[in-house]
Amino acid sequence: MSTTGQVIRCKAAVAWEAGKPLVMEEVEVAPPQKHEVRIKILFTSLCHTDVYFWEAKGQTPLFPRIFGHEAGGIVESIGEGVTDLQPGDHVLPIFTGECGDCPHCHSEESNMCDLLRINTDRVGMIHDGVSRFSINGKPIHHFLGTSTFSEYTVVHSGQVAKINPEAPLDKVCIVSCGLSTGLGATLNVAKPKKGQSVAVFGLGAVGLAACEGARMSGASRIIGVDLNPKRFEEAKKFGVTEFVNPREHDKPVQQVIAEMTNGGVDRSVECTGSVQAMIQAFECVHDGWGVAVLVGVPSKDDAFKTHPMNFLNERTLKGTFFGNYKPKTDIPGVVEMYMNKELEIEKFITHTVPFSEINKAFDYMLKGESIRCIITMGA
């Protein structure tokens, strides 16, 4: 392309300070360096993680910053040493990566790359620590190595999944974070058998994706657990058959679920980040064969407390990161599930806004009105 090797000036939504509306700015995006690619972002969506770090409650406030990490786009140019991607490839940038060389990448059991594992405090590129974004010479911080709230972004090639060019980017962009996290937690880690029962704690986007995985697995009962009763109606679209609101019971919710299911569910998936919900999710699975999977990220001072007999009675507790998907190896296959009509994506998308109105996406999220809001970059 004519822009190869050149600085590109484009629009980006910049967060200048915590909790304040993003400001549309003209930014300069430097060419990709060693093992990097520059991507033209066509569609991005808002994930709760973006909101969490934009609010900067309990984290290091790093501003000015370009947020965004769920997106789809086209490779504009590649840096030195990139051999598996070419200009014109349709891609999803991912907040974690796969270097292909470390012990985790060589392991069939792990997707937690040593080099490219998520790092929320990293504000530049791994190669040299320098930001590829600037305004009038002043650096603008990166976010999760992706920064997709910009018409062009630079990403390490190990964080880029090449996908089927026929896949609609305005739909499959959400595969790059929340959908895969919940879906993989069920399909890859909990692994319910056909006809088994599954409880899912938390019916946000990740929890609904976990329900979708249970539906795809042929679960006979999918019990949604959430403090918001309004979420049940929406959750039915994702296969949820029953709803439990812990506030409506005068006994522990794990006991309620055990009584509903003759001793406990076969599998549970926790998607809230509440350590109390994590304990409930573990204690509500059936002894002998029950498996509980933790997805939500707890607060740094939380402690998980349960009686050791719950383990000795042959319950299994597992954790997962990004649904145990390796970004480059596995995410193209998740896109193919959608292309083969095995996975339904449209029902996750509740709103669409033009890039110029990106702050509306934050409003929808903060009011609890959206599952996923697609932001159209060219509009």
Q: Which residues are catalytic?
A: 47-49, 69-70, 99, 102, 105, 113, 117, 177, 372
Give the C-alpha separation, 91 to 34, whole Å: 18
Residues 6 or more apart whose Cβ sits within 8 Å of residue 341:
none
Give the C-alpha separation, 19 to 105, whole Å: 36
In three-state secondary structure terms, 28 is strand
For residue 279, is it left (φ>0), alpha (ψ between -120 and 50) or beta? Answer: alpha
Sign of CA dihedral 54, 180, 224, 257: negative
The secondary structure element, H or E, covering residue 309 is: helix 309-312
Question: Nearest Cα to 54, choosing from 71, 44, 67?
Answer: 67
The secondary structure element, H or E, covering residue 14 is: strand 8-14
Give the C-alpha separation, 273 to 359, whole Å: 25
Give the C-alpha separation, 281 to 199, whole Å: 8
Largest alpha-carbon pair distance within the chain?
A: 67
| Other CB atoms within 10 A of residue 2 CB | 5
Give the C-alpha separation, 70 to 45, whole Å: 5
Bridge partners, 41 (sequence order): 73
Share of the chain residues as helix, strand and coil, in percent rounded to the nearest 5: 30, 25, 45
Tokens of 275: 């350590």
Question: Nearest Cα to 210, choosing from 271, 137, 138?
Answer: 271
Whether the CB-CB separation of 351 and 370 falls below 8 Å is answered with yes
Give the C-alpha separation, 299 to 273, whole Å: 8
